[in-house]
Amino acid sequence: MKVQKAVITAAGPDQRKLPMQTLIDRDGAEKSVLEILIEEIRSAGIREIAVVVYPGDEESYKRIAGPHVDQVQFLHQENSLGYGHAILTASSFTGQEPFLHLVGDHLYVNRTEKGCASKLIEYAQHESCSVSAVQATRESLIPHYGVVGGARVQGKSDIYKIDKVIEKPTPTEAEQKLIVPGLRAGYYLCFFGMHVLTSTVMDMLKAGYNAGNQGKLNLSSALNELSQKEKYMALEISDFRFDLGVKYGLMKAQLALAISGKERDRLLSELLEFFMVRDMDSAGR
């Protein structure tokens, strides 16, 4: 299995403006979130990219996509029929090929030289199956994510065989259905916002849409079905992911980029000075 295509979804009502936000990357260059995501994909060796957008947003996205815009196709999700439907919109682009999928309202910051997408693709190609990146996440945050249940592969510390997927479960539901042996208490495996998916997933989404589930079409339901029918794995990622749509999400993503970039020492020095001055002012009151 070789992954040669990627799909970014960015058409959701609460999502569509976030990829247009501007940040300063690790090299000190001003870039849109979309451009940073495209660079993440290209660093994994993928050159065919589709971005699913809300009708009317295409021109705005083209202006902020960066120097590789000619390698990007923009697909319109005409109706807001859910996350799964957004991915299904790209079915003509992906065809029968596996594809990398990223959500447009997350930013990924790797802790090593190899990017998050590169690690995921490498493992998916090795296993020849759908693989989702996951991260151990504390219980209080799981209502914001899709969560997987399963078992760690023997002899591996970061590989899991998935047997259940639930979208935004309650803590009670997670405790009953999504406990993963070996994971520390109070933590669950949540989606990282990055997947390698086979064409089987597209077939399942299409079947759900044709069955009249247009208003409820979501990716997690299809992935839960996938886990019952064929090999489906999870790779635990130790890198950072930032949901840009939550409170302070953009600020935390920007800070992570800055602290992991080439101007790290200067930034930390200035932040330290800021906190020292603030504490002195507080003490003088």
Confirm if 239 and 108 have CB atoms less than 8 A apart: yes
Mean pLDDT by 10 residues, the chain (285 residues): 97 92 93 97 96 95 94 93 94 97 95 91 96 95 93 93 96 93 93 96 94 77 95 95 92 92 79 72 61
Does the predicted TM-score (pTM) go above 0.85? yes
193: left (phi over 0), alpha (psi -120 to 50) or beta: left
Q: How far is CA 51 from the centre of its chain?
A: 14
Angle between helices 219-229 and 199-210 (to 10 degrees): 120
Q: What pLDDT, on the 0 to 100 scale, is given for residue 214?
A: 53
Helix, coil or strand: residue 51: strand
Q: Which helix (H) or strand (E) holds 183?
A: none
CA dihedral sign, ordered 81, 87, 90, 96: negative
> What is residue 106's three-state secondary structure?
strand
Separation of alpha carbons 10 and 104, rounded Å? 5
Q: What pLDDT is attached to residue 129? A: 97
Q: Judge residue 95's burial from the number of C-beta atoms within 10 Å of its C-beta, 0-12 exposed, 13-18 middle, 19 or more buried.
A: exposed
Set out the domains of the chain in order of their start, with CATH numbers. Answer: 5-284 (3.90.550.10)
